[in-house]
Chain A
Amino acid sequence: MASTQVLKLRIRSVKNTKQITKAMQLVAASKMRRAQETAKASAPYTLAARKLLTALSRHTTTSNHPLFVIKPVQNRLIIVIASDKGLAGAYNSSVVKMYAEQLQIDDKSGIKNQSITIGRKASQFATKIKGTNIIGSYEDLPDRPEGLEFSTILETARNKFISGEVDAVDIIFTEFVSSIKQDVKAVRVLPAGFVATDKSEYTDESAYEPSANAVLDGIAYRLIGAQIFQALLEARASEHSMRMLAMKNASDNATDLIDDLTLAMNKARQGAITQELAEISGGVEALNE
């Protein structure tokens, strides 16, 4: 049995760890709440853009527009969103697993791919895999992206798609369903899908400046941007909520461990006392004889 001194030291170290995990849990909880609110904020933007697109589709066809053209996929661009820091449970490993699966699928069907990684963990993993072509990696994005941070990603994706360098752009991120459920998803952002919404109060007599096509271009671009932005925000909310859960489990485990160790320490101490008493009474007996 370990000595009480050693047990005491261990209890102190576990207590310290518990303090840290508890603090991380609280920080993650408050960050998650903020991220959750921001994740909802872009909904009106997307809806308004969709409505405009529906109205526009009566004036000009989307099928000929370069951003909507569906081509057989021979090259594709994958955008992977993971986190910069670890200690978030299965967050990064699930994203990376999905990414590896996608790469395998491409490998089997002879599709070439390029990747953009967001988050240090994603780029660390991607650089380890043989044959991946990483064209950009973004790290340390702020919790509340303002638009500028992701627009270089959007710009790259659009330019590559329009120039025909890639035939599809997919994004791998963790969808935030609720604070206890998050799903890793691979979503196609380009070619842009057209989702008809209900008719707005829009009338057909509108003029389009400079032209219907130019406006369509602007809206399609913004919709794709909103999709990437949304993915970033949801990934962030998922990260914080998974970190919160992981840290909660760690704190709980630390509490259990402290209980066990305290019990062991008490037993050891009691054992030492009993032994000492036995020795004393043994000594007294010996003197009396």
Chain B
Amino acid sequence: MNFKLVTLLGVKIDQEVYEVIIPTPEGEIAVYPSHEHLVSLAVPGAITIRYSKDDSDDKLEHLAISGGVVEILHKSVKVLVDEAIHSDEIIEAESQAALDRAIELRKNAANQIELDKAYQMVDRHQVRLKVAQLRRRHRS
């Protein structure tokens, strides 16, 4: 089936895949070809892609996504998210440092704007760290 990941900065992925795991408000759903038609929301988390049926777990690809919308049809899956980053692009140490900074900012925020920003930073980097760990677990 065709998997399309569309972000605000353009189409990130558009290719044939075998399985996609998507985080939704009601838990993670694994989508295989011929899944029933479904429109749902995506929550910040990890999208996992298996390109071919015989791929082992260490070939899985992970992406950290922000919230969005998912449209599943028999032959295609479309995910609309604000931002998505591939696990290979995540630098764990950087994300950890950013997370620490964000937690610090959340404690000392001077105004509502800073506080909102801090909360979003915390969410974003927590998800990224989780995805980076997923990658490590599958590849080690």
Query: A and B from one assembly?
Result: yes
Q: Can you name the residue of chain A whose Cβ is closest to the Cβ of B82?
A: A147
Q: Which A residues lie within 8 Å of B113 (CB)?
A: 136, 138, 152, 156
Instruction: Tell me if B's interface is mostly helix, strand, loop or mixed.
Output: mixed
Is B24 at the interface (CB under 8 A from chain A)? Answer: yes
The answer to whether A148 touches B7 (Cβ under 8 A) is no
CA distance in complex: A205, B73 (Å): 10
Q: Can you name the residue of chain B whose Cβ is closest to the Cβ of A219?
A: B69
Number of residues on chain B facing chain A (CB within 8 A): 32
The answer to whether A152 touches B39 (Cβ under 8 A) is no
Partner of B116, one of A155, A203, A214: A155
Expressed in whole angstroms, the minimum distance between the Cβ of A197 and any Cβ of chain B is 14
Given contacts A136-B113, A148-B120, A151-B82, contact A206 B6 (CB under 8 A): no
Instruction: Tell me if A's interface is mostly helix, strand, loop or mixed.
Output: helix
Question: Which segment of B8-16, B45-53, B54-62, B130-138 sits at the interface?
Answer: B8-16
Q: Which A residues lie within 8 Å of B9 (CB)?
A: 38, 41-42, 144, 146-147
Chain A 139-179 per-residue mask, 1 if CB under 8 angstroms from chain B, else 0 = 00000101110011001100000000000000000000000
What size tier do the contact residues of chain A reach? 35 or more
Tell me the A residues contacting B by CB distance below 8 Å.
38, 41-42, 44-45, 48-49, 52, 55-56, 136, 138, 144, 146-148, 151-152, 155-156, 201-203, 205-210, 214-215, 218-219, 222, 225-226, 229
Tell me the B residues contacting A by CB distance below 8 Å.
6-11, 24-26, 36-41, 66-69, 71, 73, 78, 80, 82-83, 112-113, 116-117, 120-121, 124
- Between-chain CB contacts (< 8 Å), 22 pairs: A41-B8, A42-B9, A45-B6, A45-B8, A45-B80, A147-B66, A148-B83, A156-B113, A156-B116, A201-B73, A202-B71, A205-B37, A206-B39, A207-B38, A208-B39, A209-B26, A209-B38, A210-B41, A214-B25, A215-B40, A222-B80, A222-B82
